[in-house]
Structures are given as C-alpha cells and as structure tokens.
Amino acid sequence: MRNNLSFINVYEEKNIKSKVTTQLLYGDSFRKIKKSGSWIKIKNDIDGYKGYIKNRSFPKNCKNTHKVFVLSSNLYSKPNVKYKINKK
C-alpha cells in the first residue's frame, strides 16, 4: 500500500499517547500486517520499521508519476514559467 497523506505518525503501540517510532511521508509504501479495530499494524518497506497507524483508506495500486528532487519549488497558475507564481 502507499501513503496518500502528507505524513502519518507510526506508533509503537495501539494508542495515540504511545511513542511515535517513525513517520510515513507522502508516497512511502508499506505492508499491512494485521488489522485490529481502528488500528493497522504495518511494516515500512523502506526501512523495515514496524508499528501501528490509525485505520484509513489507502490506494492499493498507485504508480509514481513524479519525482521530487528539491525541497522547494514554484507552483505556477498554468503550465508555463511565464505565468504568475501562485505559491512556493
């Protein structure tokens, strides 16, 4: 599965007050190990961390369409650099 949110906290136990072991960033892939009520035990594909996240819906077959190489970029109103910059 793949994360479609900006980030998700991965908890050590099935409790929001437990220690956050890592975070899943947008586009990170993970495997669902076990579902228990409103929690899902997962294993992060990148670094192998295991932990719990709140149960949400995630896209199953999502392919990468973009690669990000910089931490900041310009967002234009139309697909041309001559147009007004909306955001950075």
Structure confidence at residue 88 (pLDDT): 61
- Cβ-count burial 2-28 (b if 16+ within 10 Å, e if not): bbeeeebebbeebeeeeeeebbbeeeb
Task: Record the pTM.
Answer: 0.64
Q: Which residues pair with 57 in a beta bridge?
A: none
**Which amino acid is it at 85?**
I
Instruction: Count other Cβ atoms within 10 Å, centred on residue 31.
Output: 11
Give the three-state DSSP class for 83: coil
Structure confidence at residue 64 (pLDDT): 66
**Residue 34 token pair:** 């076990």
pLDDT (tens digit per residue) in 66-79: 677 777 777 777 77
CA 21 to chain centre: 15
